[in-house]
């Protein structure tokens, strides 16, 4: 029988735990076990992917000429003179992000209109041609400096689809152009944590058809920012979650079969399934990022100021993204004056308060006693100091050692040894959160890992009491 806070896995009946078991949750003590982990032949995250996942929550900032034209997709013919965010204060963006509990921001350095928020040498279609700061300004610089000053990591979105570039569609020339833009972004603005490649392309049948040189593009990012993760439908490091509603698949594997989604911007039911759920037997570690806007649109439109998502909606998204082994990238678009509107700033603050309330009363110090039960299942039981109404259960695998849990169940002792099922699910990964519709008062908790792949690594279980 294994008895420790976090259980160790089992291989051929032998107990083990990770030698370097880093606690997933800061307050929990390091596992005392020192026996080396016999790593199964399963994909594992890189340090950059681990850091990305541990951020849990990042803010997306859609800002550019669309902010001034009131559009979602610009066509590249915008006059740069319309870009004049007279009160622009990236410190306000960064403070709002930090106050919301985000650990990174991702800025649209270039959207599909091709307008660059930095003074790129590759094009006239940029802030340098605008009246803002007399053409001397650089939003990428101000935003990245402000974010770092608030302790946030920086990511950049640079749209491959470019409706302004005259060389777009002349594939070799545009690939050179795009690589030159990425090179500017990845060499002049310090450490970049994430590079975001969206898959949109609205060129019609007579449109310009660009063949992107993805191996070269990805190779350039790897060379210039080796610690950055690259996001796209096809990764290579982080995959799109397959919708823009804030809903990760359930189950959600961080592993994928790389033969299913091979390039950004390709559609189809099997592709969306793989993006949503990952692939249990996938050979590549490519966790899903859930991007969703706090408003109906990605860019700020004054007409949507009253349509900012409610706190309940945002909390629901928290559970269907972070709570389903994904990471939340919540878009909060700055307005024309260069500031995030008060409605959004306030909502972000309320969202944080709502999360703090949900997770305020953690049952700390629970001792989990783990044992093997017939049928290759593992069961952990913890006795609560007193009967407590449980409202949320948060579990996490030590994903440094891969994702292993296929199915689990959580029961509570509702009195005199009567077990009642509280939740069940498929996959845990970095984080699985189950919110009980009605809090249940229990004296003991029991977690059963009903099925795992080859060798489950440490699973940490946290329980939160309902606020009375």
Using CB under 6 A as the criterion, which residues of the chain lie in contact with ligand FUL when the complex forms? 72, 198-200, 291, 298
Q: What is d(CA 367, CA 461) in angstroms, rounded to the nearest whole number?
A: 10
> Which neighbouring-strand residues pair with 463?
393
- Strand pairing of 2-3 and 368-373? antiparallel
73 versus 359: smaller Cβ distance to ligand FUL: 73
Query: Measured from the CB of residue 73, what is the shortest distance to ligand FUL in angstroms?
Result: 6
Q: What is d(CA 294, CA 445) in angstroms, rounded to the nearest whole number?
A: 36
65 versus 460: smaller Cβ distance to ligand FUL: 65
Contact assessment for residue 127 and residue 139, using Cβ atoms and an 8 Å cutoff: yes
184 versus 198: smaller Cβ distance to ligand FUL: 198
DSSP string for residues in 369-399: EEEEETTTEEEEEEEEEEEEEEEEEEEEE-G
Helix, strand or coil, per DSSP, at residue 273: helix
Query: Measured from the CB of residue 83, what is the shortest distance to ligand FUL in angstroms?
Result: 17
36 versus 202: smaller Cβ distance to ligand FUL: 202
139 versus 442: smaller Cβ distance to ligand FUL: 139
For Cα atoms 140, 146, 149, give the angle at the middle one, nearest 5 degrees. 140
Phi, psi of 312 (to 5 degrees): -60, -40
What's the distance, CA 64 to chain centroid?
Answer: 23
DSSP state of 367: P
- Per the listing, tokens 């032949």 go with 41
194 versus 400: smaller Cβ distance to ligand FUL: 194
256 versus 330: smaller Cβ distance to ligand FUL: 330
Query: Measured from the CB of residue 71, what is the shortest distance to ligand FUL in angstroms?
Result: 10
Q: What is d(CA 157, CA 20) in angstroms, rounded to the nearest whole number?
A: 35
Query: Measured from the CB of residue 72, what is the shortest distance to ligand FUL in angstroms?
Result: 6
């Amino acid at each position: 029988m294994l008895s420790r806070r976090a259980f160790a896995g089992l291989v051929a009946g032998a107990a083990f735990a990770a030698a370097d078991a880093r606690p997933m949750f800061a307050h929990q003590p390091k596992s005392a076990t020192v026996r080396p982990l016999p790593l199964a032949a399963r994909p594992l995250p890189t340090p950059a992917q681990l850091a990305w996942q541990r951020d849990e929550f990042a803010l997306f900032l859609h800002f550019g000429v669309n902010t001034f034209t009131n559009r979602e997709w610009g066509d590249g013919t915008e006059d740069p003179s319309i870009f004049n965010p007279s009160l622009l204060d990236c410190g306000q963006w960064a403070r709002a992000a930090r106050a919301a509990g985000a650990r990174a921001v991702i800025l649209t350095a270039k959207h599909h209109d091709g307008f660059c928020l930095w003074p790129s040498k590759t094009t006239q279609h940029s802030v340098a041609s605008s009246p803002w700061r007399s053409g001397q300004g650089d939003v990428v610089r101000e935003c990245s400096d402000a974010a770092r000053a608030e302790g946030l990591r920086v990511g950049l979105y640079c749209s491959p689809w470019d409706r302004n570039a005259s060389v777009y569609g002349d594939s070799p020339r545009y690939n050179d152009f795009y690589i030159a833009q990425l090179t500017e972004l990845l060499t002049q603005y310090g450490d970049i944590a994430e590079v975001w490649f969206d898959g949109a392309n609205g060129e019609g049948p007579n449109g310009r058809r660009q063949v992107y040189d993805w191996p070269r593009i990805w190779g350039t990012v790897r060379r210039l920012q080796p610690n950055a993760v690259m996001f796209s439908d096809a990764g290579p490091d982080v995959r799109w979650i397959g919708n823009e509603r804030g809903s990760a698949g359930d189950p959600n594997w961080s592993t994928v079969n790389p033969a299913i989604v091979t390039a950004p911007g390709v559609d189809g039911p099997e592709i969306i399934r793989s993006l949503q759920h990952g692939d249990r037997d996938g050979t590549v570690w490519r966790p899903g990022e859930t991007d969703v806007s706090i408003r109906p649109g990605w860019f700020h439109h004054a007409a949507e100021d009253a349509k900012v998502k409610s706190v309940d909606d945002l909390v629901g998204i928290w559970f269907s993204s972070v709570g389903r082994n994904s990471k939340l990238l919540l878009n909060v678009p700055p307005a024309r004056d260069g500031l995030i509107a008060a409605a959004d700033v306030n909502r972000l603050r309320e969202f944080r308060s709502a999360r703090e309330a949900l997770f305020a009363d953690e049952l700390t110090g629970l001792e989990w006693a783990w044992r093997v039960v017939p049928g290759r299942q593992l069961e952990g039981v913890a006795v609560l100091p007193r009967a407590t109404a449980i409202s949320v259960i948060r579990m996490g695998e030590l994903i440094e050692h891969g994702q292993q849990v296929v199915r689990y169940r959580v029961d509570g002792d509702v009195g005199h040894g009567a077990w009642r099922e509280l939740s069940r699910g498929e996959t845990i990964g970095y984080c699985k959160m189950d919110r009980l519709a009605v809090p249940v008062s229990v004296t003991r908790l029991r977690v059963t890992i009903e099925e795992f792949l080859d060798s489950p690594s440490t699973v940490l279980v946290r329980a939160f009491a309902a606020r009375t």
